[in-house]
Structure 1
Amino acid sequence: MLDAQQSLRDRWKTLSQCVCDGARLMVGQGNYAAYAAHVRKTHPDREPMTETEFFRNRENARFGVGNTSGFRCC
């Protein structure tokens, strides 16, 4: 019975993480841990952005900051 409860907890944790990641992506915020792991694996010569820099980068991309196409949210 204990293994079944642990398995259910693990599946619930995985599902809730997927829902949270999906919600973040819907509003333009990616998963920082996934980003940092990707940079470390595929670009070992580069230092990943800090979590604050990553958040600002995603916010700027979402709202077109620095974009020359003229898009602006507000």
Structure 2
Amino acid sequence: MMAPSTDYRARLKALSQCVCDGARLLIGQGNYGAYVAHVTKTHPDLAPMTEREFFRNRENARFGVGNKSGFRCC
């Protein structure tokens, strides 16, 4: 059985990760690890974007870069 302090730390770490992931989604930044896992599993023939490319891709999607209508906030 795990010591209470170890269990507490693990639960606190999981909660903080969940909060961070939620905050990233609110601002349009997905989880890079989840993206890589998805691409690896469902598109084995494709190489996943680098972390920098992924960040830029999500940022461009959020701000409508490349959209014919131009900048969009929401």
The TM-score, its normalising length taken from structure 2, stands at: 0.90
User: Kindly, what percent of the aligned residue pairs are identical?
Assistant: 68
Say if 2:37 is the partner of 1:33. no
Classify the secondary structure of the residue corresponding to 1:41. Answer: helix
Distance 1:55 1:13 in 2: 24
| Stretches of 4+ aligned residues off by more than 6 angstroms | none
Distance 2:66 2:72 in 1: 13
Match runs of 1:55-70 below 5 Å:
55-68=55-68, 70=69
Q: Aligned residue for 1:12? A: 12
**Which sections of structure 1, spanning at least 5 residues, go unmatched?**
none
Q: Aligned residue for 2:71? A: 72
**Which sections of structure 2, spanning at least 5 residues, go unmatched?**
none
> How many pairs are equivalent?
72
The TM-score, its normalising length taken from structure 1, stands at: 0.90
Distance 2:53 2:39 in 1: 14
Q: Aligned residue for 2:49? A: 49
Root-mean-square deviation (CA, aligned residues, Å) is 1.5
